[in-house]
Amino acid sequence: MPFARHLMSRLSLLAVLAAGLGSTAAFAADPNLARNLAATCANCHGTDGHAQPGAMDVLAGQDKGMLLQKLNGFRDGSRPATIMHQIAKGYTPEQLDLITTYLAAQKREGK
């Protein structure tokens, strides 16, 4: 029983990865890569993107395309920011793809 549940969670993670990567398998090395990368956002934007009410944007359950568009705007300087223009440049496009896929897949409400 626990094994079956475990397998299911693995499958869903792999689905997330596969969706994020298309046919490239270069980042399949660690199946939790997307989770690990997205966790680097949590200090400011909350665990799994569930920000506390206030100054920071909630990222959990947001549309992936919208998140990527914002991040790309920060990267190329077209979107004004106090700090995100510096942070977005620290990640590769592939990593931002994994991060936004993971965050978009989080349930919007609850914690």
Partner 1 sequence: MTMQRRNFLKAAGIVSAASVTASLTGCASAPVPRKQAAGHVVVVGGGYGGATVAKYLRKWSEGGVRVTLVERNPTFISCPISNLILSGDKTLDDITVSYDGLKNRWGVKVIQDEAVAVDPVKRTLRLAQGGSLSYDRLVLSPGVDFLWSLVPALDAKESQEKILHAWKAGPQTVALRKQLESMKDGGVFAITIPKAPYRCPPGPYERASVVASYFKAHKPKSKVLILDANEDVISKKGLFTKAWSELYPNIVEYRPNHELIDVDVTNTTALFEFDKVRADVLNVVPPQRAGAIASAAGLKLVNNRWVDVDWLSLESTNTPGIHVLGDAIFPAPTMPKSGHMANQHAKLAAAAILNLLAGEAPNPNPVVMNTCYSFLSSTEACHVASIHQYDAEKKTVLPVPGSGGVSAVRSVAEAQFALGWAKNIWADALA
| Residues in binding contact with partner 1, number by CB under 8 A | 45
Q: Which stretch binds partner 1 (CB under 8 A): 15-23, 64-72, 102-110?
A: 15-23
3-state secondary structure the chain: CHHHHHHHHHHHHHHHHHHHHCCCCCCCCCCCHHHHHHHHHHHHHCHHHCCCCCCCCCCCCCCHHHHHHHHHHHHHCCCCCCCHHHHHCCCCHHHHHHHHHHHHCCCCCCC
Q: Does 58 bind partner 1 (CB under 8 A)?
A: no
Q: Does 69 bind partner 1 (CB under 8 A)?
A: no
| Maximum pairwise Cα distance, the chain | 50
Q: Does 108 bind partner 1 (CB under 8 A)?
A: no
Q: Does 73 bind partner 1 (CB under 8 A)?
A: no
Q: Does 18 bind partner 1 (CB under 8 A)?
A: yes
- Given a contact cutoff of 8 angstroms between Cβ atoms, the answer to whether 44 and 56 are in contact is yes
Q: Which is nearer to partner 1, 75 or 104 (CB)?
A: 75
Residues at the interface with partner 1 (CB under 8 A): 2-3, 6-7, 9-11, 14-15, 17-18, 23, 25, 27-33, 35-37, 39-40, 42-47, 51-52, 54-56, 82-83, 86-87, 89-91, 95, 111
